Amino acid sequence: GVMAELTGRRGGYSKGKGGSMHMFSKAENFYGGHGIVGAQVSLGTGLAFANRYRGNDFVSLAYFGDGASNQGQVYESFNMAELWKLPVIYVIENNRYAMGTSVTRSSAQTDFSKRGVSFNIPGEQVDGMDVRAVKAAADKAVAWCRAGKGPYILEMQTYRYRGHSMSDPAKYRTREEVEKVRHDQDPIEQVRNRLLAAKMSEDELKKIDAEVREVVNAAADFAQHDPEPEVSELYTDIYR
């Protein structure tokens, strides 16, 4: 469904009309991205309010980057979430450069785990390149929310190897910096090295790689062969 949406096909989660900006699946409890920077933070907070109102044990996870962290609506959301003790985890993906500006040039407080201090929201920095650290931090945050203690902030310290978009040549950093992170911290290579250290064989790893490629190729094949929406779809699912 994701692949089909990215290629504008009928089988996409938004019927091929939303693309990467409006990925949405109620069945999967996934409420998508947003074309306005930081707007999904308010939406995620609203979903948390709905869950608290309904009395279920759902926890809302609102993802946004270091760039979006400076948007005003983020702090309005923080205030309401703590005020009403909403079950929401704010996951700040700090890749150091937002769309292309270093955090040291755009953020007065570069420790994003502290962004909720004035609202009494606890936070912690996490090695976002280590799947074990991410899992442990997420479990802790979910338990906090389900205990009725309100929101929690997780700053995932991560990195992107390529530009923000196809039009971004990423000239604001050196090739050496990118290669060093790729060599020292790549999350997939870290797992691979741990598995090899645990005596898993190269053949077993190749089998896993083959299975993953099969899943990805099947999704890509579906997306490429799924039909595009009818022209009449231009007039459906819209507000006038």
* Active-site residue, from 22, 34, 164, 192: 164
CA-angle at 112, arms to 23 and 39, nearest 5°: 30
Number of H helices, E strands in the chain: 8, 4
CB atoms within 10 A of CB 122: 16
Neighbours of 171 (CB within 10 A): 8
Residue position matching structure tokens 């290579």: 189
**Residue 94 amino acid letter:** N
74: which residues sit within 8 A by CB, 6+ positions away? 38, 41, 64, 68, 90, 115
**Residue from 34, 172, 173, 192 carrying the catalytic annotation:** 172
Q: Alpha-carbon torsion 149, 150, 155, 156, what sign? A: positive
How far apart are alpha carbons 23 and 138 in whole angstroms? 23
CB 30 within 8 A of CB 23: yes
Task: Point out the catalytic residue in the list 10, 22, 34, 160.
Answer: 160
- Among this protein's residues, is 164 annotated catalytic? yes
Residues known to be catalytic: 160, 164, 172
